[in-house]
A = this chain, B = another copy of it.
Amino acid sequence: MTRPKSQTAALMSSPEDIEAEFYEALQLADLERLMAVWADDDEVVCVHPGAGTRVIGAAAVRASFEAIFANGGVPVEPTQVHRVHSVGSAVHHLVEQLQIRTAEGAQTAWVLATNVYVKTAQGWRMVAHHASPGQLGEGPALPEPASTLH
């Protein structure tokens, strides 16, 4: 269901509101609603999980989600949110639970996501979404110091 932009904007009075909007828009493959979440800025950044590349700027972010939505909505549920709130900004870190199709059938995948929100003159907006694969099929991610690179 696509809502008028004005109605959507009224729902963006906190980082929690805008985060809920983001995931609902993802689930519904609602591009307009999704892009209403993002700041209209040339420097916003999005990293899709496993892509190995980054997408910079609202126009490029829109194009990247348009391509994803060509396959329909994303069955994603945000879980285990950690928050660092300060004046005018909020960093949320969460574990996204995704249902994916694999050669072995449906599986649950875990994705680690950092979402950054900033309070603008228009209300709270997303300025960064960085997602990367979590451990597949092993349940929620747990702290672990091991790393290949750093």
Does residue A144 face the partner (Cβ distance < 8 Å to B)? yes
- Sample 24 A-B pairs with CB under 8 A, ordered by A number: A43-B82, A44-B84, A45-B84, A45-B93, A47-B114, A48-B145, A50-B147, A51-B144, A51-B147, A52-B112, A52-B134, A53-B112, A53-B134, A53-B144, A54-B93, A54-B95, A68-B150, A86-B118, A91-B116, A111-B149, A114-B130, A116-B116, A116-B128, A130-B132
Interface residues of A (CB under 8 A from B): 26, 39, 41, 43-45, 47-56, 60, 63-64, 66-68, 74, 76, 82-84, 86-89, 91, 93, 95, 98, 100, 109, 111-112, 114, 116, 118-120, 127-128, 130-135, 141-150
